[in-house]
Structure 1
Amino acid sequence: MIDARCSCGAVVLLLPGPTNRVAACHCIACQRRTGAPFGVGAFYPADSVTISGAPKEYVRAAESGGTVRSYFCTDCGSTVYWKADNLPDMIGVAVGAIADANFPAPVKSVFERSKHVWVGIDAADVEHLQHGSFRKTSN
């Protein structure tokens, strides 16, 4: 088991371990959510994640037409995880909240139409999409 947590430790997720379902997202909403040029999320089946603490939920419209629900700590403000209508059985976890320099790299780079021109995600095995999302695939 590994964990993901907010800056102050009030919100903690217990995860079954590393996953290969990792995506870098360059959409404007992720840029604003993270305060960075892109967000990186690790995706897990929701029933494999244990959540402790009392995060606040923020709901926004997704480009897909559905909604994304982000969960953040009410004390320190860190976004730790999110749920998207297009992935109802999955939880996206902020890779930065896992804080493991050896965590697997992204296998997808999505919404590259709004990617900052100086950002490069150049590994040969990364799928690059102008739109899109991280769909559920086998682990």
Structure 2
Amino acid sequence: MPLTGHCLCKKVTYTVEVDQPAIVAYDHCDDCQRQSGSTYSLVAVVPKDKLTINGPSKSWAGKGTSGHAVHRVFCSECGSPIAHDPDAAPEIIAIKAGTLDSEIKKTLKPDTEIWTQSKLPFCQEHLAKPFKGMPE
């Protein structure tokens, strides 16, 4: 069963013709923090040749630590990040796992953390006061 997902406005959709990602990781790099607006980006690494993106997407390229470009793909309508595509590893692409369809992302089990040299010091596995939703 392929992996499927979409952006916030649902104008960009994608399909990855694999049953499972090769890697599911917490990506702590500074660029992913900035792109996600959060402390890390949960990514699902998949073979690039198995991905099909439909809809109004754009990309922006920045330089990765390898010196090669990293293309950040996003919806041109709502701005949702869809993936990052590193030239240094042309066979893979990192899907932003939060964009996977709900039933698929519920089954993900992160198996690694990457770019932990940029991990923010307050990131913890378990926070002291969790809330199911917004605090009342």
TM tier relative to shorter chain: 0.7 to 0.9
Tell me the residue number matched to 2:133. none
1:38 to 16, 40, 46: 40
Tell me the residue number matched to 1:26. 28
Tell me, yes or no, if structure 1 residue 17 matches structure 2 residue 46.
no
1:47 to 49, 52, 66: 49
Cα drift, residue 120 of structure 1 = 3.0
Q: TM-score, normalised by structure 2?
A: 0.81
Q: Percent identity of the aligned residues? A: 27
Tell me the residue number matched to 1:105. 109
Counterpart CA distance in 2 for 1:91 and 1:101 is: 17
Cα drift, residue 20 of structure 1 = 4.0
Counterpart CA distance in 2 for 1:82 and 1:3 is: 16
- Say if 2:98 and 2:105, in contact at 8 Å, map to a contact too: no
Tell me the residue number matched to 1:96. 98
Tell me the residue number matched to 1:87. 89
Q: TM-score, normalised by structure 1?
A: 0.79
RMSD in angstroms over aligned alpha carbons? 1.7
Letter in 2 for 1:114: S
Tell me, yes or no, if structure 1 residue 119 matches structure 2 residue 120.
no
Tell me the residue number matched to 1:64. 66
Across the two proteins, how many residue pairs are aligned to each other?
122
Cα drift, residue 14 of structure 1 = 0.6
The structure with the larger Rg is 2
Please list every run of 5 or more consecutive structure 1 residues that lacks an aligned counterpart in the other structure.
Answer: 123-139
- Say if 2:22 and 2:46, in contact at 8 Å, map to a contact too: no
Tell me the residue number matched to 2:134. none
Counterpart CA distance in 2 for 1:27 and 1:121 is: 18
Please list every run of 5 or more consecutive structure 2 residues that lacks an aligned counterpart in the other structure.
Answer: 127-136
- Say if 1:25 and 1:109, in contact at 8 Å, map to a contact too: yes
